[in-house]
Amino acid sequence: MNVPLYEKLWMWASGVLIVAFLTTVAIGVASSALQPPSHVETIDPAKVWTDPRFTARGVTVDSAGVTVVAVAIMFAFNPAELRVPAHRPIKFRLTSADVTHGFQIVGTNANTMVVPGYVSEFTTSFDRPGEYLIVCNEYCGLSHHVMSGKLIVEEARP
Ligand SMILES: [Cu+2]
């Protein structure tokens, strides 16, 4: 088949781009432990405060592991401060009581949307003890810029 040179160049260029994009995704998955969106678990946003899955908010440590349960509302995270151990897998369970929010722990790979009607869940661990800023990265209203929280990662006691 007689394909003009420019046509061939563009075909090769688009092929190279596809390979480059897939490589970027593969490197992200392998090096930063990026995860696909969580399971689909629904919740009535009007009943978040009385739903048994979200009444015990905060950090729970038991035989099953470490779990963080928190609710995002305009314009805060509840609870605003979380204290978790370092070097252990931590399961985050989040939902919104009003509009779509974001939940990003700055400087880590923890970053998810928090959509009303759904429970966002992901698991990650923190190797560096210290204080981390939690921000909402989805515009949620006039005071979106003040919506923040704090994650304190503590070195596990021996
Ligand atoms: Cu926000």
pLDDT for residue 38: 64
Residues 16 and 91 in one domain: no
* pLDDT reading at 10 higher than 70: yes
Which residue is it, tokens 């949620």?
A: 140
Ligand 1 center from residue 106 Cα (angstroms): 15
Given pLDDT bands bounded at 50, 70 and 90, which one contains residue 157?
A: low
The alpha carbon of residue 112 and the mean position of all alpha carbons in its chain are separated, in whole angstroms, by 3
Ligand 1 center from residue 59 Cα (angstroms): 22
CA–CA gap between residue 102 and residue 138 (Å, rounded): 5
Residues 113 and 136 in one domain: yes
Number of folded domains that form the chain: 2
In the three-class reduction of DSSP (H, G, I as helix; E, B as strand; rest coil), residue 155 is classed as: coil
Residue-wise pLDDT tens digits, 17-57: 999 999 998 988 888 777 666 678 999 999 999 999 999 99
Q: Which residue stretches of the chain are H helix?
A: 5-32, 52-55
Residues 9 and 51 in one domain: no
Domain with 18 in it:
1-34
Ligand 1 center from residue 132 Cα (angstroms): 17
Ligand 1 center from residue 67 Cα (angstroms): 23
Residues lining ion ligand 1 (Cβ < 5 A) are 101, 136, 140, 144, 147
